[in-house]
Amino acid sequence: MAQRLELHAILVNILGSNNVYFQPPASIQLQYPCIIYKRDNSVTLHADDKPYMLSTRYQITIVDKNPDSEIPAAVGALPMCIFDRFYTADNLNHDVYKLYF
């Protein structure tokens, strides 16, 4: 959990506000711009039939009214981060990234 909280702090720093949500329930009223992230996958490396390294992958979605926002570029600059897709919904721009952290 400490590792996820470290990622949360990095995302808050990038966004410049506390509008960073980890797996938010539908009842939460989101404030924009925001970052929504969730666990997406894990990779375990083995040696001698024992796990020795576990990497957790997160899906990070930046939601912003501004189509020219600089937030996606800042998230995309994180190590082990790759761009996944872009889409619009409800007049909001969504940039989706995958990040091993």
State pLDDT tens for residues 57-92: 999 999 999 999 999 999 999 999 999 999 999 999
Write the DSSP symbol of residue 20.
Answer: E
- Backbone CA torsion sign across 90, 95, 96, 101: negative
Whole-structure pTM value: 0.90
| Mean residue pLDDT across the chain | 95
At 34, the pLDDT band (50, 70, 90 cuts) reads very high
Query: Count of alpha carbons within 13 Å of 55, Cβ hemisphere only?
Result: 10
